[in-house]
Amino acid sequence: MAPSPDGAYYVVGMLDPLLWNSPLVIAHRGSRELWPENTMFAFEKALSLGVEHLETDVHVSADGVVHCFHDHTLARITGQDGLFIDRTAREIAKLDAGYRHRGAGGFEFRSSRIGIPTFEELVTTFPRVRVVVDLKHDEVVEPLARTVKALGVGERLLVGSFDDDRIDRFRALVGGEVATSTGVATSRSWLLASRSGRGVSGSASALQVPLQMRGLRIVDRKLVDAAHGRGLQVHAWTVNDPAMIRHLVSLGVDGIVTDRPDLAMAEIAG
pLDDT per position as a tens digit, 217-256: 889 999 999 999 999 999 999 999 999 999 999 999 999 9
- Identify the burial level of 46 via C-beta atoms within 10 angstroms of its C-beta, where 0-12 means exposed, 13-18 middle and 19 or more buried: buried
Q: What is the 3-state secondary structure (H, E, C) of the chain?
A: CEECCCCCEECCCCCCCCCCCCCEEEEECCCCCCCCCCCHHHHHHHHHCCCCEEEEEEEECCCCCEEECCCCECHHHHCCCCEHHHCCHHHHCCCCCCCCCCECCECCCCCCCCCCCEHHHHHHHCCCCEEEEEECCHHHHHHHHHHHHHHCCHHHEEEECCCHHHHHHHHHHCCCCCEEECCHHHHHHHHHHHCCCCCCCCCCCEEEEECEECCEECCCHHHHHHHHHCCCEEEEECCCCHHHHHHHHHHCCCEEEECCHHHHHHHHHC
User: Residue 175 above 60 pLDDT?
Assistant: yes
Domain covering 2-269: architecture: Alpha-Beta Barrel (3.20)
Give CA–CA dist 104/97, Å, rounded.
18
- Chain-wide mean pLDDT for the chain? 92
pLDDT at position 215: 80
Residue 29 has pLDDT above 50, yes or no: yes
pLDDT per residue as tens digits for the range 164-173: 999 999 999 9
Q: Using CA atoms, how far apart are residues 61 and 178, in angstroms rounded to an integer?
A: 23
Residue type, 58: V
> Quick check: 165 and 186 in contact, CB under 8 A?
no
Under the banding of pLDDT at 50, 70 and 90, the label for residue 50 is: very high
Q: How confident is the model at residue 14 (pLDDT cuts 50, 70, 90)?
A: confident
Positive or negative: CA dihedral 102, 104, 108, 114: negative
Nearest residue to 132 via CA among 229, 235, 223, 232: 235
**pTM to 2 decimal places:** 0.93
Q: Percent of the chain having pLDDT more than 70?
A: 95
